[in-house]
A and B are shown apart, each in its own frame.
Chain A
């Protein structure tokens, strides 16, 4: 069993006052709370600091913990000495309102678990019916998964209460069909897949928050997809049909003649599935062929000579007006 150094988990000295411990815990709890911190290890860290606080914030538990002594030599297994807690009275239950919301470490359970188990067993035996707790988890999917629908297996680690009041962590694997058209940040629900209820209470639900992985081609806005499409200058000028990738496959898009750089075109209904399916917005990006051969240089020079084209015409006119206005004041 791994020894837990609760003082270093909270980043406080062994001589810290109860107030210092409280401050350190609150600060770390805000930092690592899984609802606030999106880092993957945030939940584990939050559990660690909660567990450290559970022990150190309670003067009785803290005194007993201090008696244990130091961590064993590196790598050695930790076993509490027999009767390590002799002479300490633990009063009251866990300070959390829902003790089974957190599964504490083996280390914690071996030190303080028995007392909890007695209480839990009493709770479990009591004729008490309540809906099981809901569970929350997050799943990251590809945009393609939202478009086509997908099946994901999810492994859930859930603290469960056995009949004799022991807290055990069970792994459950679920095959979840992710509904088509699910969007970033949306929640989906699996009925009855949360924690089992107490007594005759119904099981809680499992809520899954969906996060979409950023896509290399498409930017997602609600059910609409945005794509930047490079086009040739003559396709933009003369119009024509170009091929465009969509999630449902390649489609043809008609580029109207005299299209300018940045023109937005819409492929109706090619976005994410929904009651009214989303659209794909295509933004034209006019790409210039490089003048790197004799032929291409010649073509550019011909255009320069023969086309009456001044892209800065409006700009210059505006600049002139501004100068005139300034001169007249």
Chain B
């Protein structure tokens, strides 16, 4: 069974993204407003999302549901998480150099 790498290309419409994530338009729009996912296009009818957004938005939704967060809280948590990951990567490459 061959897996496909999720691409960064903005290809999905809002409707397709909602169906792929199993979430409502309202939820997705809130995440877009909070900058949880990146979007191309001027307005909702022209929005295009990447496949990577599907995974990111599902993670956001799990955090919101399981930890009773609101959307700005989720956005902050995700930002701090990627900051931690970046720092851990740097620590790791330092550890390798020594």
Give every chain A residue within 8 A of B59 (Cβ-Cβ): 35
Contact B3 A208 (CB under 8 A): yes
Give every chain B residue within 8 A of A45 (Cβ-Cβ): none
Given contacts A30-B67, A188-B3, A189-B6, is CB(A133)–CB(B22) below 8 Å? yes
Bound-state CA distance A46–B65 (Å) is 14
* CB-based nearest B residue for A131: B22
Bound-state CA distance A96–B65 (Å) is 8
Give every chain B residue within 8 A of A54 (Cβ-Cβ): none
Contact B93 A219 (CB under 8 A): yes
Given contacts A131-B19, A136-B58, A187-B55, is CB(A33)–CB(B63) below 8 Å? yes
* CB-based nearest B residue for A134: B58
Which of B4, B67, B81, B93 contacts A26 (CB under 8 A)? B67
Contact B22 A134 (CB under 8 A): yes
Contact A177 B81 (CB under 8 A): no
Q: Which residues of B contact A (CB under 8 A)?
A: 1-6, 19-22, 51-52, 54-55, 58-59, 62-63, 65-68, 77, 81, 85, 92-93, 96-97
Q: List 26 A-B contacts (CB under 8 A).
A: A26-B67, A29-B66, A33-B66, A33-B67, A35-B62, A35-B81, A50-B66, A96-B65, A98-B65, A131-B22, A134-B22, A136-B55, A174-B1, A175-B1, A176-B3, A177-B2, A179-B3, A179-B4, A187-B6, A187-B55, A188-B4, A188-B6, A189-B3, A208-B3, A214-B92, A219-B93
Q: Which residues of A contact B (CB under 8 A)?
A: 26, 29-30, 33, 35-36, 46, 50, 96-98, 130-131, 133-134, 136, 174-179, 181-182, 185-191, 193, 204-205, 207-209, 214, 219, 228
